[in-house]
Homo-oligomer: A and B are copies of this chain.
């Protein structure tokens, strides 16, 4: 019995530097390994994401995946591109995308991370080193026309009506509520720009910013080596796309450009479960298309034994009580963690960047005890080179000299 031979479907020329190739990080290589955050500050976000795909998936007999099937995608192997072992974490400018805490941290920042095998460290955030839980931020199938129309319709409606509804949370809506289809900087692969076909697609194709029913930009940090994702198939061939490689990410990816973004390679194994979408996924919504992927976590995640955990409740920074709002609770948990860690010699921007990309866990701990949702953020203490647990004073936190490389 001979094993199935893996095939190279999106080639990388190993003789070329990564930035000389078409397939690079999600920005197309526009962020550089240097000490300036200007590239982050002025990054045109309409030019996203650079992806690999769409791949037409067929079975061993050559029969393509069909709508109603489930596509089981195993993450066999993945990592940074050899010779390009570095990545970055950024805070977007409030006026250019922002992030979960943009009202607290409105200015662009950038940390560069270098990789030593499984570990990452950053000159901009000294005193931390952690193993990466490397994963693709994006993996998804293509929507059908019907599903695409649902997306465009509901997101358009949010933009039209959202600001009024969201008057409660004026802070959040400084950010764009959604990104509707636009022909600005559309990346459409081999389709010839300027043609009627290109124009038509650009005007109706959903932008890849959010995760949706098809998977997409879910940014789930546990989709690492050995895990398996079951994607619904909406069109013949499934048309699988993937990319946005992350060396590591914290739950929430709070600073938005918050993972350790990198160029990388990815080896996948695909299996078609015929009829599996209907068998396993029940829609939660008005149509049969309102489903979501499911996945299995792999067995080689980094193992930590000690965690320091921060709580948040759904009372916002102004003291206002919200009703069981997990987003507000998580925001407060993250702010609590930032305040706490800033006592150990870090600036708050450093911690914000760190919590975006280190293997921290964001939990919905309580969602029923009205009016307070409780969210928690758990940080593995082993990533620090100092003891960050509270202790009797006199044995307290050492002050670390603030690095001056962070701008």
Contact = CB atoms under 8 A, between A and B. Distances in A.
Given A118-B226, A282-B339, A297 B307 contact: yes
B274 A382 contact: no
Contacts of A157: 320-321
A404 to B, nearest CB: 12
Interface stretch (A17-25, A50-58, A191-199, A209-217): A209-217
Contacts of A254: 367-368
Interface string A209-233: 1111100011111100110001000
Interface in A236-256: 251-256
Interface in A323-379: 323-327, 330, 332-333, 335-336, 339-340, 342-343, 361-376, 378
A251 B297 contact: no
A78 B251 CA distance: 28
A296 to B, nearest CB: 6
Contact of A340 (B131, B168, B281): B281
A275 B396 CA distance: 11
Interface in A295-335: 295-313, 315-327, 330, 332-333, 335
A128 interface: no
B117 A286 contact: no
A226 B117 contact: yes
Contacts of A318: 285-286
A284 B332 contact: yes
A309 B229 CA distance: 9
A11 B174 CA distance: 53
Contacts of A131: 226, 298-300
A211 B298 contact: no
A144 interface: no
A74 interface: yes
B118 A225 contact: yes
B367 A158 contact: no
A127 interface: no
Nearest to A267: B117
A72 B390 contact: yes
A273 interface: yes
A65 interface: no
Contact of A390 (B154, B273, B319, B324): B273
Interface of A: 1, 3, 6, 14, 70, 72, 74-77, 79, 85-86, 99-100, 114, 116-119, 123, 131, 150, 154-155, 157-158, 162, 165-166, 168, 172-173, 175-179, 209-213, 217-222, 225-226, 230, 251-256, 258, 267, 269, 271, 273-276, 279-282, 284-287, 290-313, 315-327, 330, 332-333, 335-336, 339-340, 342-343, 361-376, 378, 382, 389-393, 396, 405
A-B residue pairs, 9 tightest by C-beta: A76-B117, A282-B339, A210-B372, A326-B326, A362-B364, A154-B321, A3-B114, A1-B123, A219-B366
